[in-house]
Amino acid sequence: GWWGSAGLTGLLWALVSTTLGVAVSPQERLLLKALGLSTKPSPTFPAPVPSVLWKIFQQRTDPATPANEQDRACRVEEFHVPGNIIRVFADQGNFIHSGAPDTWRCLEKRLYFNVSVLEEGEPLTMAQLEIQFSHNSYHPSSWGQGFELRLYHALQMSLRGMSSQLSSQKLLVGQSFAQLHKSLLFNLTEVAKSWRTPSKNLGLILEISVGSRNGALGLPPKRLQNLCASIDSFLDTSLLVVSLSQQQCKASRKRRSSYYAPVTPSNLCKPRRLYISFSDVGWENWIIAPQGYMANYCLGECPFPLTAELNSTNHAILQTMVHSLDPEGTPQPCCVPVRLSPISILYYDNNDNVVLRHYEDMVVDECGCR
Ligand SMILES: *[C@@H]1O[C@H](CO)[C@@H](O)[C@H](O)[C@H]1NC(C)=O
Ligand SMILES: *[C@@H]1O[C@H](CO)[C@@H](O)[C@H](O)[C@H]1NC(C)=O
Ligand SMILES: *[C@@H]1O[C@H](CO)[C@@H](O)[C@H](O)[C@H]1NC(C)=O
């Protein structure tokens, strides 16, 4: 490598590690705040990473993907909506009723997604509910009827405040299925917007029943039980929410030129390689991916006369001239980042939700004398 690179990187790294190694250092708090987190998450029951987020993350980090960073700071192109944060909320609702043999309902469940983590001034631009089954469920062919799925928007709790006693609910979706698919998606953008006022978030009621109420009434209990048993593959529900952190969007820069800093031996101002490993800073239990990244840093001299490659400002050129005349009184210009590029990070937030977020200015691409 170039002069002193290993030693310097090691020293820098030791500094960063000691400041971050402690449980709650002011530096760590600052960094977490910059990442939009109040405290360091410590996932207790981390949900598996939704495949849709993995897919987007991998596409974004694949060097073969033509990246338009300008757009990515303010748009989630994968869903064609404005945004730079994708969160997948786990369902926190309880089962209200599960398949008593003498009723026509196979499953009745409250769905609840705590979206309060979205900050004020962070518009929600998309919300998509996914209902998953572990496999496609078929109803026995001897019966002419399929399943009926109903989704209600809970609007008002009854005076008793019991979760199962909603005094007002609005039907959002009513669909019949001859066959339940592995995954059903519903557009809940408008509903999720109303949930941003916590007192208005009473969740949803999901109801899966055998055919219609009338059709099922005549069926013997054993038959109903069998029919309901065939949809016992009900797995989980989750809510994917896209929002726009306007701060990130405003900070957006030009697209990056190169991912890695060049390695040529010189003591002039230029980017130096620095790999930041999240496990070294003790963040491996909540950052899912990447495990680390090439952040780089700027180091080197800004000597007189400054050349064009040093990306100087007129002010820096004058400063080196003054410095050459009066080295004691005026310092050399500083070697600082002049072009940075973003990365995407996949992590668990303080509520164990999985988040894919775009961060500006995480990688030093170019340095200059300023
Ligand atoms: C929702 O999450 C916030 C923290 O983000 C928490 O303070 C609040 O109690 C949660 N609400 C419910 C109903 O779980
Ligand atoms: C979802 O619904 C919102 C508002 O109702 C609408 O603007 C948006 O285009 C819909 N998204 C999709 C993918 O259909
Ligand atoms: C200055 O900018 C040019 C391109 O704009 C780049 O190739 C060069 O590496 C930069 N210089 C430094 C020291 O980063």
Q: CA 257, 259, 67, 293 torsion: positive or negative?
A: negative
CA of 340 to the centre of ligand 3 (A): 12
Give this prediction's pTM.
0.76
Atom number in ligand 1 closest to CA 92? 14
pLDDT at site 366: 94
Q: Which residues pair with 86 in a beta bridge?
A: 242, 356
CA of 264 to the centre of ligand 3 (A): 13
- End-to-end, the C-alpha distance of the chain in Å comes to 26
Ligand number, closest to the Cα atom of 269: 3
Q: Which residues pair with 108 in a beta bridge?
A: 97, 207
Q: Is 116 in the pocket of ligand 1 (CB under 6 A)?
A: yes
Q: Is 117 in the pocket of ligand 1 (CB under 6 A)?
A: yes
- The 10 Å CB-count burial string (b at 16+, else e) for 214-226 is eebeebeeebbbb
Q: Is 351 in the pocket of ligand 1 (CB under 6 A)?
A: yes
Atom number in ligand 1 closest to CA 351? 5
The overall longest dimension of the chain from CA atoms, in Å, is 101
- Residue 203: CB partners within 8 Å, gap ≥ 6? 93, 110, 111, 112, 113, 154
pLDDT at site 7: 42
Residue ID of nearest Cα to ligand 2 atom 14: 187
73 CB burial (10 A radius; 0-12, 13-18, 19+):
buried
CA of 187 to the centre of ligand 2 (A): 6
pLDDT at site 213: 52
Q: Residues near ligand 2 with C-beta < 6 Å? A: 187, 189-190
| Low-confidence residues in the chain, pLDDT < 50 | 1-15, 17-22, 99, 101, 141-142, 161, 163, 253-263
Read off φ and ψ for residue 204, nearest 5 degrees.
Answer: -130, 165
pLDDT at site 6: 42
Residue ID of nearest Cα to ligand 2 atom 11: 187
130 CB burial (10 A radius; 0-12, 13-18, 19+):
middle
In whole angstroms, how far apart are CA 71 and each of 81, 342, 353?
Answer: 11, 12, 25
Q: Is 114 in the pocket of ligand 1 (CB under 6 A)?
A: yes
pLDDT at site 10: 44
Q: CA 320, 322, 328, 330 torsion: positive or negative?
A: negative
Nearest to 355 by CA among 131, 92, 90, 59: 90
Ligand number, closest to the Cα atom of 190: 2
The answer to whether the beta carbons of residues 30 and 16 sit under 8 Å apart is no
Residue ID of nearest Cα to ligand 3 atom 9: 366
Tokens (6 digits) for 3: 């002069």
pLDDT at site 141: 44
How many residues comprise the chain? Answer: 370
Give the C-alpha separation, 216 to 242, whole Å: 40
The answer to whether the beta carbons of residues 296 and 364 sit under 8 Å apart is yes
Quick count: other Cβ atoms within 10 Å of Cβ 90? 19
Amino acid, res. 119: E
CA 284 from chain centre, in angstroms, equals 16
Return the H-helix or E-strand segment holding 138.
Answer: strand 137-138
CA of 73 to the centre of ligand 3 (A): 23
329 CB burial (10 A radius; 0-12, 13-18, 19+):
exposed
pLDDT at site 240: 97
| Long-range Cβ contact pairs of 218-223 (< 8 A, separation 24 or more) | 221/101, 221/102, 222/101, 223/143
